[in-house]
Amino acid sequence: MKGSTLALAAQLVTSASAFTLVQRENPKVVKFDINRRNVNPLEHDRLRRRDTVQVTLDNLETLYFMNASLGTPEQNFRLHIDTGSSDLWVNAANSRLCSNIGQPCSVAGTYNANDSSSYNYVNSVFNISYVDGSGASGDYATDTFKLSNPDLTVEDLQFGIGYTSSSPEGILGIGYRVNEVQVNRAGLDPYSNLPQKLVDDKTINTNAYSLWLNDLDASTGSILFGGVDTDKFNGTLSTLPIIAESDTYAEFIIALTAMGEDGDKGSIFENESVAVLLDSGSSLMYLPDNVATALYSKYNAEYDSSQGAAICDCDLANQDGSIDFTFSSDGPTISVPLNELVLVMGYQRGEPICILGIGPSGDSISVLGDTFLRSAYVVYDLENNQIGLAQTVFNATASNVKEIESGSDGIPSATSVPNAISSLSVQGGGGRIGGPSVTGSIGGSNPESSGFGSPAATPMPWHAAGAALAGAGLMMGFNGF
């Protein structure tokens, strides 16, 4: 039964309180440095949000990328890291798009199977597509995947080749395998995507990784497969259950239960349960309309629906203050400093134009994208279906890498949140192509599984207003505004 499985899952998560710290001279981890690319976050998210949230180019314009190669001899790529999809795919050199004058694919790199002695054909079901009609299709193949720093070789990694494509990017999707194109479009069994392959090859202990995006003003962060760097966050990591959709763990959704400002926990709202998607592929965060509206009025930001963003005074970035997010009632609070929320969009006569990095979610699921994620150290534990969260340390230069061990309590320096919320009604969970094909209410409506202060099955009332922003702030009680 659905309900009892969830209750059991919740118990397992909440009873794990002892954590194993494994520190070896050579920990079994793989760390990649990642670069941030400066793209216009609005253009990026506008494409992504053309229809509903996290559709369209969701997976295509992630701001964070790394270098890697495929093939023998090596063919080099710049790959965008995407926690919101699950396939590695690259463009074929001879696709119509990449053969265009101007070589649009040359920055991200292209693959030529005939030039690789280690290429092996798998099947022809690769087809990733987006609501606006863009996407890529072609073959799945395996080949040797290499990183130069650190030195890592993964033999026979499966990936997609876009023989037909309308996107010049190469994507490294590292999400749940149930979201692989081969599974959710062709109905085939899952294959080992990169994080799972690193486990299969015993390079790391367990399918879990940590993402440290770092400061808005810093251009590099890192992703650590199989490990946690305890010098990149303050305090301990709190672990929270990921919320399943139709009994399937498919995306990184957790429960946001309170928001406050300037350290005043819950001053914006509390005792609510908002399903939020952690998505490194989204530049901004998208919050329930009335919350966004209240924040706009608080910070004198003006929402421009044609831009899909709220213009604000750039001086806001020089003010002290924060917006604070609390998860699973008794769970961690991540504080996002105001200066992380103000993005320079461009210049007009030498003067910068700024936006607040918060948009309205309309009738779609709320999303915590990069304007939130930079302030958090996040562990994505796909083996145990949990998220570890702690306040980031910006610009940390020290490093203390520990292995994550297999098993439910394998994340070092972590404690699980008591009475964590493990099921919720998620709105707008469907509609994402390449996402799970579920809509409407998900998870079990099982109050026991979520404990004190957590209205597990309560739908989000403010979504009823849809995209109507005006006056939406009245729909729920706001403290402090």
Ligand X SMILES: *[C@@H]1O[C@H](CO)[C@@H](O)[C@H](O)[C@H]1NC(C)=O
Interaction site with ligand X (CB under 6 A):
33-35, 66-67, 92-94, 112-114, 127, 129, 137, 215, 217-218, 234, 270-271, 393-395, 477
Q: How far is the CB of 126 from ligand X (least distance, A)?
A: 9
82 among known catalytic residues: yes
Residue number with CB closer to ligand X (44 or 232):
232
Residue number with CB closer to ligand X (244 or 338):
338
Taking the CA atoms of 426, 430, 433 and 437 in sequence, report the sign of the dihedral they define.
positive
Q: How far is the CB of 315 from ligand X (least distance, A)?
A: 16
Q: How far is the CB of 233 from ligand X (least distance, A)?
A: 8
Residue number with CB closer to ligand X (394 or 406):
394
Q: What angle do CA 265, 360, 286 make, to 5 degrees?
A: 65
> Tokens at residue 3, please?
């309900």
Residue nearest to ligand X (CB): 217
315 among known catalytic residues: no
Residue number with CB closer to ligand X (49 or 232):
232
- Residues 456 and 451: their CA atoms lie apart, in Å, by 8
Q: How far is the CB of 127 from ligand X (least distance, A)?
A: 4
Q: How far is the CB of 265 from ligand X (least distance, A)?
A: 11
45, 58, 82, 139: the catalytic one is 82
Residue number with CB closer to ligand X (278 or 433):
433
Q: What angle do CA 398, 224, 252 make, to 5 degrees?
A: 125
Residue number with CB closer to ligand X (231 or 448):
231
87, 139, 229, 279: the catalytic one is 279
Q: How far is the CB of 329 from ligand X (least distance, A)?
A: 9
Residues taking part in catalysis: 82, 279
